[in-house]
Structure formats: C-alpha cells, structure tokens
Structure 1
Amino acid sequence: MAKHNEFGSLGEQKAVDFLRNGGYAILARNYRYLNAEVDIIAQKEDTLAIVEVKSRTMGFLGDVSNMVSAKKVKLLMLAANHFVEERDLDVDVRFDVITIIRNGNKYEIEHLERAFYHF
C-alpha cells in the first residue's frame, strides 16, 4: 500500500475514534452508492453525520471549500439520500468534514459540522 493510502486509512481510523469518543455510533465506513463513496456515516441521537475525511500534513493545508468539489458534494448527497431511504431512517442529515493534520508524530483533528449543503 502506498504511503499516502496508509496515511489516509490512519486518518479515517482517527476520525472514527474521535467520533466514537464524542458519542457517535458508526453506522458505515466507506459506504458506496453508484459512483459515490462516503468515508464515514455516523449517528448521534437523531442526527446522521455524513463525514468526509481529509488527511493532511502540516505543510499542505487548504480551505475546506477547496477540499470537497461540487461534484463530490452531489455524490455525497445522493449516497446519503440512498442510505437514509434504504434503512428507512427518520433523522436530520448533516454533512461534515474532519481534517486530520499530521505534524511529525502528532495529529490534530478538526471537525467542521455542516461543512456544506444539507437537507
């Protein structure tokens, strides 16, 4: 596995751990629907969080609006809608971005709730 893929997998696991520690139940990881893939689907009370995880090194940071393209947002919305309908859930849906920033051997986690359009 390439180093960037290993770091991406580590970042996703750190995001899962972060969410669990925050009281979320993890319902799905790497959920696929058509051409969409949702990194994490988590639920806390009556809110379903559709989470995109971005792992970065300290020297490679950017604005969240540049991290998730308009095409990716559309795909995430389709996948989220399918997940909710498939499981017949009655929940509020929110789209979040979690960034995992590596600085040497330390990691900083930032959770941006409602990062973009939600329904």
Structure 2
Amino acid sequence: MADHNELGKTGEAVAAKFLEEKGFDIIERNWRYKQKELDLIARHKNYFVVIEVKTRTTDGWENPKEAITPGKIRFIVEATEAYIMEYDIEEEVRFDVVTLIPNGADWKIEHIEEAFHPTL
C-alpha cells in the first residue's frame, strides 16, 4: 500500500479513537458507495453524523480541510442519502470534518462540527 494510503488509514483510526473519546458511537468505517466511500459514520447525542477525515503530513501546501471540495461534498451527501434509505435512519443528519496532521509522536487534530450543509 502506498505511503499516503497508510497515512490515511492511520489518520482514520486516530480520528475514530478521538471521536469515541468524545462520546461518538462509530457505526461504520469506510462504507462503500459506488467507487468511493464515507470515512466514518457515527451517532452522537441525537445526531446521525457522517465524518470526512482528512490527513496530511503538513499544512504547508494545503490545510486538510481545504481538500473538501464542492464535488466531494456532493458525493458525501449522495452517499449519505443512500445510507439513510438503506438503513432507514431517522435521526437528524450532521456532516463533520476531522483534520489530522502528525506532530512528532502525537497528532494535531481539528474537529469541525457541522462543517457543511447539503445544498438544496
């Protein structure tokens, strides 16, 4: 597996642990829809939360949250709608982003709740 794929998988695992420590119940990791996937799906309080995880080695070129493009948002919303229909989800939906950058043996983590809203 390429180094960037390993970094991404490690980042997703760190993000899941971070969120679980904040009280999130992770119900899916890497849920596949068409040729892409939703990184993490969770329940938190009264919300059904879809979490996009962005991991970078540095924020020198592009901050990880800047990688959430309008096209990526459209895909996340479409995939979330498919998941909701398949599993008959009734909670209010929220879209979060977790960004991670390695910081020595630790991680710089930013959790953005309600990072975006689907366009109507």
Shift in Å, 1:115: 0.8
Partners in 1 of 2:23 and 2:118 — Cα distance?
A: 21
Could you tell me which amino acid in structure 2 is paired with residue 56 of structure 1?
R
Which residue of structure 2 lines up, in the alignment, with residue 20 of structure 1? 20
- Please list every run of 5 or more consecutive structure 1 residues that lacks an aligned counterpart in the other structure: none
**C-alpha offsets along residues 27-81 of structure 1, whole Å, 9 cap, x if unaligned?**
11111222441100011132011111011223434273x2111111111001111
- Please list every run of 5 or more consecutive structure 2 residues that lacks an aligned counterpart in the other structure: none
- In the TM superposition, structure 1's runs of 4+ consecutive aligned residues that sit over 3 Å from their partners are 58-61
Cα 1:45/1:59, change in 2 over 3 Å:
closer
- Number of paired residues? 118
Identity of aligned residues (%): 38
TM-score, length-normalised on structure 2? 0.88
Partners in 1 of 2:89 and 2:59 — Cα distance?
A: 40
* Contact kept in structure 1, 2:73 and 2:118, CA below 8 Å: no
Which residue of structure 2 lines up, in the alignment, with residue 112 of structure 1? 112
**C-alpha offsets along residues 63-114 of structure 1, whole Å, 9 cap, x if unaligned?**
73x2111111111001111111211111111111101111222211110011
TM-score, length-normalised on structure 1? 0.89
Which residue of structure 1 lines up, in the alignment, with residue 88 of structure 2? 88
* Contact kept in structure 2, 1:95 and 1:114, CA below 8 Å: yes
